[in-house]
C-alpha cells in the first residue's frame, strides 16, 4: 500500500478530507495500469476473442461490445432479482452499532463444545476482533475451538459480539440490500427511486434484442462491457479488494442450450489461461469449481479464478467468476418486460426440401465470465511486488510489459556530449509506436543508478541508455528490470524489440 501511494498507483478517495470508507482513486501510474488491463481484456475478449482460437463449435469466437448506463429503469433490478434478493444476511450489535455479515461471524467455544453459563466470544476473521476475542476465550476456557455463529442455538444470549463487552447484544440476522439508491429528476419522491447498478451484466441482457436485431451476430456470440458497479458493502476492506465502487469487465456469451456446458468449460479454461498470460502464474492462482450446494438454482456450473492475495493467504480471494447462468436472465426480463427475447436460429431444425433448415426458436443459455478490474489490478501489483535488499530499489514491481504503465525509459547516460539528442530521437520513435499503451519515460537528470531504481519501482520493464559508445557504433544498452542485466543493442532494433515484448 505504501509503494502504491508513494509512486502514484492508488490513493484514498477524498484523502485531504480524511478519505471515505470503501472508495479508492487511481493516481497516474495506477490509472494507466488499470487502463492497460481493461484494454487487454477488450482486445482478448471482444476484438480478437480468445487470441483467435476456435470455440467448441469449431468456429472463430465472435463477441461485440456495448456500453450501458449505471442507472437503469428500476424494473431491471426487480426482474434480475437484485431488489428482492441481492442481500447478504447481516447481524447488528445493539451495544456497539457494529454490523457484520452473518456468514462471516465465528465464535470461540470450549473445545468440549459446552460453554455452560459462560460467555462465548464472537469474532470476524482478519479483523482486530479475532485476536482480542481469542485471548479472552482462552482465559475463560483454556482449550478452545472455533465454530460458525450460525451453528449456535438462538437466541444468542451468551454471545459477546466481536467488538462488544456485554453478552446478548447481537440481533437476529437480517437482510441488507447492497444496492445504492438515488432519485433521478426534480421530485424527491420514493416512487421515483432508482439504483446504481450492482453489476454491469443486466445492461447487456436488456439490450440483447437490440443487438441481435441491429448487428449481424448469430448465436453463439458474446456481448461484453466494462464499467463501474456499486455495492454498499458492509465491511469494505483489504485495500481495493472489497470496495463500494469498483469496475467490472463482464462478457455474456449466448449459445444453444445443448452446447452450453461445452461453452462453459471453454470460457472457464480460457479465463484461467488469460490471467496466467498476464503474469499471475504459479501457485498463487487457482481455478475453483463450486460445489453443487454452492450453485444458484439455475446454474449448471460456476468456477472462480482465485488469487492468493497477501491478506487472504494462505487462502484465496475471487478475481473472476465464470458462471453458467442458463436462460435465467433472459427469461426473467421477458417475463417482466413482456417483450419476447427468444431467438430464432436458422441454422437448426429439420432440413427442408430446398436444402435449407426449418429453424428453431429457443431461449439462449448464457455463460458469464465476470471479472473485477480493481481486483485484477491489485493482484497484478501484489504478484509483481518483489523485495530484494541487494538492489538500488529494495522494492520493485515485476509487471508484465503489457500491463506496465511505463513501457520503456530512454536515458542519456549524461546530459551532454550529444547523448540527450540521440536519446530524444529514440524516445520520439517509441512515443509514436507505443505511446498509446503507456508512458515512455525520458529523464536526463540524476545518477543512472537512481534513474534505474525509480523505473524498477514503477514496474518499467526496459530502460535504454545512450552512452559514449552509441555515437561510435549506434548501439544502446537495454537493461532488463527483473534481472538488472544489460545488453547492447543496435538503436534501430529497439522498436522491434519492444514490439515483441509488448505483444501479449
Ligand atoms: P464476493 O463474493 O467477493 O463479494 P461476488 O461473488 O459477489 O464477490 P460477483 O458478483 O461474481 O462477485 O462479481 C464479479 C467480480 O466483480 C468479482 O469476481 C470481483 O472481481 C468483482 N467485485 C465484486 N464485488 C466487488 C467489490 N466489492 N470490490 C471490488 N471488486 C468486486
- In short, whether 233's Cβ falls inside 6 Å of ligand 1 is yes
**How is 60-92 classified by DSSP, letter by letter?**
B--EEE----SB--HHHHHHHTHHHH-EEEEEE
Residues 362-390: tens digit of each pLDDT: 999 999 999 999 999 999 999 999 999 99
Residues 30-47: tens digit of each pLDDT: 999 999 999 999 999 999
Residue 26's SS3 state is strand
So what's the pLDDT on residue 237?
A: 85
- In short, whether 328's Cβ falls inside 6 Å of ligand 1 is no
Supply the mean pLDDT for the chain: 93
- In short, whether 379's Cβ falls inside 6 Å of ligand 1 is no
How far apart CA 463 and CA 346 sit, in angstroms, is 55
- In short, whether 302's Cβ falls inside 6 Å of ligand 1 is no
Residues 385-411: tens digit of each pLDDT: 999 999 888 999 999 999 999 999 999
How far apart CA 402 and CA 408 sit, in angstroms, is 11
Residue 250 or residue 115, greater confidence: 250
So what's the pLDDT on residue 292?
A: 79
- In short, whether 304's Cβ falls inside 6 Å of ligand 1 is no
Considering just the CA atoms, what is the radius of gyration of the chain in Å?
Answer: 27
> Average pLDDT of 411-422?
93
- In short, whether 368's Cβ falls inside 6 Å of ligand 1 is no
For residue 134, pLDDT beyond 70: yes
Report how far ligand 1's centroid is from the alpha carbon of 12 (Å): 20
Cell of 354: 430446398
Pocket test for ligand 1, best of 37, 267, 318, 329 (most atoms within 8 A of CB): 318
Q: Which residues in 171-284 belong to E strands, given as ranges?
A: 174-177, 181-182, 194-195, 221-230, 245-255
Confidence of residue 7 (pLDDT cuts 50, 70, 90): very high
The closest-lying atom of ligand 1 relative to the alpha carbon of residue 370 is: 14
Residues 337-352: tens digit of each pLDDT: 999 999 999 999 999 9
Report how far ligand 1's centroid is from the alpha carbon of 353 (Å): 51
- In short, whether 375's Cβ falls inside 6 Å of ligand 1 is yes
So what's the pLDDT on residue 88?
A: 72
How far apart CA 150 and CA 336 sit, in angstroms, is 35
How far apart CA 5 and CA 30 sit, in angstroms, is 10
Report how far ligand 1's centroid is from the alpha carbon of 283 (Å): 22
How far apart CA 436 and CA 455 sit, in angstroms, is 19
Cell of 413: 547516460
Report how far ligand 1's centroid is from the alpha carbon of 246 (Å): 9
Dihedral pair phi/psi, residue 409, rounded to 5°? -125, 145
- In short, whether 243's Cβ falls inside 6 Å of ligand 1 is yes
Tell me the pTM: 0.87
- In short, whether 279's Cβ falls inside 6 Å of ligand 1 is no
> Average pLDDT of 58-73?
97
CB 159 within 8 A of CB 122: yes
So what's the pLDDT on residue 87?
A: 62
For residue 355, pLDDT beyond 60: yes
Indicate the DSSP class of residue 107: E
List of residues 6+ apart from 106 with CB closer than 8 A: 122, 123, 124, 125, 146, 147, 148, 149
Specify the residue with its C-alpha closest to ligand 1, atom 1: 318
For residue 11, pLDDT beyond 60: yes
How far apart CA 161 and CA 275 sit, in angstroms, is 39
> Average pLDDT of 268-274?
97
Helix 419-434 with 494-502: angle, nearest 10 deg:
40
Report how far ligand 1's centroid is from the alpha carbon of 155 (Å): 32
> Average pLDDT of 219-230?
98
Specify the residue with its C-alpha closest to ligand 1, atom 14: 370
Report how far ligand 1's centroid is from the alpha carbon of 377 (Å): 14
The closest-lying atom of ligand 1 relative to the alpha carbon of residue 318 is: 18
Residues 88-130: tens digit of each pLDDT: 788 999 889 888 988 889 999 999 888 888 999 999 988 889 9
Confidence of residue 85 (pLDDT cuts 50, 70, 90): low
- In short, whether 400's Cβ falls inside 6 Å of ligand 1 is no
Closest CA to 480 of 382, 409, 403, 426: 409
Report how far ligand 1's centroid is from the alpha carbon of 320 (Å): 7
Which ranges constitute the DSSP H helices of 9-49?
28-42
Report how far ligand 1's centroid is from the alpha carbon of 247 (Å): 10
3-state secondary structure 195-213: EECCCCHHHHHHCHHHHHH
For residue 86, pLDDT beyond 60: no
List of residues 6+ apart from 371 with CB closer than 8 A: 41, 248, 249, 250, 271, 305, 319, 320
> Average pLDDT of 291-308?
86
In the chain, % of residues over pLDDT 90: 81
For residue 504, pLDDT beyond 60: no
Report how far ligand 1's centroid is from the alpha carbon of 370 (Å): 8
- In short, whether 365's Cβ falls inside 6 Å of ligand 1 is no
Residues 174-224: tens digit of each pLDDT: 777 889 999 998 888 888 899 999 999 999 999 999 999 999 899 999 999
Report how far ligand 1's centroid is from the alpha carbon of 248 (Å): 8
Residues 319-335: tens digit of each pLDDT: 999 999 999 999 999 99
Amino acid at each position: 500500500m505504501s509503494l502504491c501511494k508513494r509512486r502514484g498507483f492508488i490513493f484514498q478517495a477524498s484523502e485531504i478530507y480524511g478519505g471515505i470508507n470503501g472508495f479508492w482513486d487511481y493516481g497516474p501510474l495506477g490509472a494507466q495500469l488499470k487502463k492497460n488491463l481493461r484494454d487487454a481484456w477488450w482486445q482478448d475478449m471482444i476484438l480478437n476473442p480468445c487470441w483467435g482460437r476456435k470455440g467448441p463449435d469449431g468456429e472463430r469466437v465472435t463477441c461485440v461490445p456495448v456500453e450501458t448506463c449505471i442507472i437503469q429503469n428500476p424494473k431491471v433490478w426487480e426482474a434480475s432479482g437484485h431488489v428482492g434478493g441481492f442481500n447478504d444476511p447481516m447481524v447488528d450489535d445493539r451495544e456497539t452499532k457494529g454490523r457484520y455479515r452473518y456468514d462471516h461471524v465465528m465464535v470461540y467455544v470450549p473445545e468440549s463444545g459446552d460453554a455452560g453459563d459462560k460467555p462465548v466470544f464472537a469474532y470476524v476473521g482478519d479483523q482486530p476482533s479475532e485476536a482480542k476475542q481469542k485471548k479472552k476465550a482462552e482465559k475463560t476456557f483454556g482449550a478452545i475451538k472455533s465454530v460458525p455463529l450460525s451453528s449456535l442455538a438462538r437466541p444468542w444470549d451468551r454471545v459477546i459480539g466481536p467488538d462488544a463487552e456485554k453478552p446478548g447484544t447481537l440481533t437476529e440476522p437480517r437482510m441488507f440490500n447492497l444496492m445504492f439508491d438515488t432519485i433521478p429528476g426534480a421530485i424527491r419522491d420514493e416512487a421515483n427511486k432508482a439504483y446504481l447498478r450492482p453489476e454491469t451484466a443486466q445492461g447487456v441482457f436488456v439490450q440483447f434484442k437490440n443487438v441481435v436485431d441491429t448487428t449481424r451476430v448469430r448465436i453463439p456470440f458474446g456481448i461484453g462491457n466494462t464499467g463501474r458497479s456499486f455495492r454498499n458493502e458492509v465491511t469494505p476492506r483489504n485495500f481495493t479488494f472489497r470496495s463500494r465502487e469498483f469496475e467490472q469487465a463482464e462478457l455474456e456469451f449466448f449459445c444453444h442450450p445443448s452446447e452450453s456446458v461445452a461453452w462453459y468449460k471453454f470460457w472457464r479454461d480460457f479465463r484461467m489461461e488469460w490471467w496466467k498470460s498476464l503474469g499471475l502464474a504459479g501457485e498463487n492462482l487457482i481455478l475453483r469449481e463450486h460445489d453443487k450446494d454452492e450453485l444458484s438454482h439455475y446454474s449448471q456450473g460456476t468456477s472462480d479464478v482465485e488469487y492468493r492475495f497477501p491478506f487472504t493467504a494462505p487462502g484465496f480471494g475471487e478475481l473472476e467468476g465464470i458462471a453458467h447462468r442458463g436462460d435465467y436472465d433472459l427469461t426473467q426480463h421477458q417475463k417482466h418486460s413482456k417483450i419476447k427475447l427468444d431467438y430464432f436460429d436458422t441454422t437448426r431444425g429439420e432440413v427442408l426440401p430446398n436444402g435449407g433448415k426449418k429453424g428453431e426458436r429457443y431461449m439462449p443459455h448464457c455463460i458469464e465470465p465476470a471479472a473485477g478490474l480493481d481486483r485484477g489490478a491489485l493482484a497484478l501489483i501484489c504478484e509483481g511486488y518483489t523485495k530484494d535488499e541487494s538492489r538500488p530499489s529494495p522494492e520493485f514491481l515485476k509487471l508484465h510489459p503489457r500491463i506496465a504503465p511505463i513501457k520503456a525509459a530512454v536515458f542519456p547516460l549524461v546530459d551532454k556530449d550529444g547523448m540527450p539528442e540521440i536519446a530524444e530521437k529514440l524516445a520520439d520513435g517509441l512515443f509514436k509506436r507505443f505511446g498509446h499503451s503507456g508512458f515512455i519515460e525520458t529523464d536526463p537528470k540524476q545518477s543512472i543508478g537512481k534513474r534505474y531504481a525509480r523505473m524498477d519501482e514503477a514496474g518499467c520493464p526496459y530502460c535504454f541508455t545512450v552512452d559514449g559508445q552509441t555515437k561510435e557504433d549506434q548501439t544502446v544498452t537495454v537493461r532488463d528490470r527483473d534481472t538488472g542485466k544489460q545488453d547492447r543493442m543496435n538503436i534501430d532494433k529497439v522498436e522491434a524489440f519492444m514490439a515483441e515484448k509488448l505483444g501479449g
